[in-house]
Amino acid sequence: MAYIPPHMVSERKWWLFRNGRVLYKYGFFLVFLVLVLIVPLVVYAPIPLVFVSLLISLVSGVIMIFYGSAYQNLYAVLEELPRFEVVDFNPVRFMVKVRDQTREFVVLYSSAGGRYGYWNIPPEHYQIWTPFEGLGRSYRDRYDFMKYIRPSGFSKLFSGITKSKQNEMIFDGDLEGFLHLQEKAKKISSLRFVGLANEERKTILLALLTRKADKVQVKQVVDLLKEIVNEVKHGRVY
């Protein structure tokens, strides 16, 4: 697991990050408890104030399940990065920033019901990126590449239960000089896209993975991005 500095552990957001599974289970317990209480209440004692309180508790339980699941998934995929230090965690955007001795990486989990909505992006996927210089500047947003991660055709209506297929080409046109890494990239079954994007007016090297990504595949993608960066740094672009 990536290293979390001691001074961060006591912060509330880090408790959420490390205990997503606890939040998830309590959410399910709360939803179950409320549903057990609501049915008798509606039938035998329809007291408005109590009913509203239970309804609020039900919504709270659903939110706990949603956020707990996201935190749990994000925490799990960092288990293969023991030499990395956790720099920051955004509990609202489901985004964690890690750093090794040479550079920073951001891992973002895009969950169902996110701020971009069901019809704009698939329900769940991972994004991994790192600052990038050397091949020009990109003006495209990370979410301009969702066609690579979204199921195509009629199946996109059911993107919650289906997944996109890996294209023949994973690397974007900006990375034509790295096609010698194509076969290595295709062995990562959840990887769908690697290319340049714009993040806060800076160019980044971005990778998109399906929700099926696991901790091993996240580590493989991080290593792949580092390899690309190192080849640019040492002038080994084909």
Residue 11: what pLDDT? Answer: 74
- Nearest to 72, CA basis, from 7, 120, 26: 26
CA separation for the pair 101, 2 (Å, rounded): 13
Q: Do residues 146 and 213 both lie within one domain?
A: yes
At 143-181, the pLDDT tens digits run 888 888 876 554 454 555 556 778 888 898 888 888 888
Residue 51: what pLDDT? Answer: 74
Q: Which residues contact 10 (CB under 8 A, 6 or more apart)?
A: none
Q: Whole-prediction pTM value?
A: 0.84
Domain ranges, residue 167? 111-233
Classify residue 192: in a domain, yes or no.
Answer: yes
At 187-214, the pLDDT tens digits run 999 999 999 999 988 999 999 999 889 9
Q: Do residues 213 and 121 both lie within one domain?
A: yes
For residue 194, give the H/E element and its range.
strand 191-199
Instruction: Supply the DSSP string of 20-57, one letter for each residue.
Output: HHHHHHHHHHHHHHHHHHHHHHHHH---HHHHHHHHHH
Query: How many domains are there within the chain?
Result: 2
CB 17 within 8 A of CB 88: no
